[in-house]
Amino acid sequence: MTDRTRIRRLPEKAVDDVAVLHAVLDASRVAHVGFVDEDGHPVVVPTGAARSGDRLLLHGSTGSRMYRRLAEGVEVCVTLTLLDGMVLARSAFESSMHYRSAMVFGVATPVPEDEKVAALRAMSEAWLPGRWDTLRPPTAKELAATMVLALPLVEWSVKVSDGPPDDAPEDLDAPVWAGVLPIVTSYGDPVPAPDLRGTPNPWRPPVRA
């Protein structure tokens, strides 16, 4: 932990277990990348992200403003958030959300050319396990058009909000329902491409024991 990753507001929600960090990164897939653009303005750009070991991998077009700026070595603050539920308290003030969120600070550096395919494979495997080996390899042109950046998981914080509503004693008799409405994110039924040829089986997430 560093001074800037020390959670000051509601520090009881801070988690310093790296396994929880990994779980948040592995489940969230969408990262919001905050950085200061060339003109001095802060921007936050959503993008896909996948953890590979102790790095967070980001990939995008070599023509992307964000990827070009990050490759220059600017500092980033990347956040990944899982929304787990709505907390319905007896007052609006105490109503809140269940979440697990991570913030990672640092500099993302380009993955060397000779490690690019392995990094892209790791991203694909993180998102769609088993799919990469069923696809043709990327072409040289595709690789040249793609930048892969790695952000080391060194300076980070995780905040987890859970538990029941925390109502004031004087509100407990209010005639309103109180509790938690869980939010569950899941895949729906696969929708075949209109130009799908043959009858290949759709990709399905692996069943976890």
Ligand X SMILES: Cc1cc2nc3c(=O)[nH]c(=O)nc-3n(C[C@H](O)[C@H](O)[C@H](O)COP(=O)(O)OP(=O)(O)OC[C@H]3O[C@@H](n4cnc5c(N)ncnc54)[C@H](O)[C@@H]3O)c2cc1C
Other beta carbons less than 10 A from residue 163's beta carbon: 11
Nearest CB to ligand X, comparing residues 7 and 71: 7
Binding of ligand X by 21 (CB under 6 A): no
Query: Going by C-beta distance under 8 Å and a sequence separation of 6 or more, which residues neighbour residue 143?
Result: 113, 116, 117
5 lies in the site for ligand X, by CB under 6 A: yes
Residues 176-205 that bind ligand X (CB under 6 A): none
Residue 61: HSE in the Cβ half-sphere, 13 Å Cα cutoff: 3
DSSP H helix total and E strand total for the chain: 4, 10
Nearer to ligand X, 33 or 122 (CB): 33
State how far Cα 179 lies from the chain centre. Answer: 27
Instruction: Determine the 3-state secondary structure of 158 from DSSP.
Output: strand
Contact status: 158 vs ligand X (CB under 6 A)? yes
Please tell me whether residue 99 binds ligand X under the rule CB under 6 A. yes
18 binds ligand X (CB under 6 A): no
Which residue from 108, 111, 159, 180 is in contact with ligand X, where contact means CB under 6 A?
Answer: 159
Alpha carbon separation from 66 to 58, 119, 129, 137 (Å, rounded) = 11, 19, 27, 26
Residues from 101 through 130 that contact ligand X (CB under 6 A): 101-103
For position 65 contacting ligand X by CB under 6 A, the verdict is: no
Using CB under 6 A, which of the segments 25-33, 34-42, 99-107, 179-187 binds ligand X?
Answer: 99-107
Residues that bind ligand X (CB under 6 A): 4-5, 7-9, 81, 83, 97, 99, 101-103, 157-159
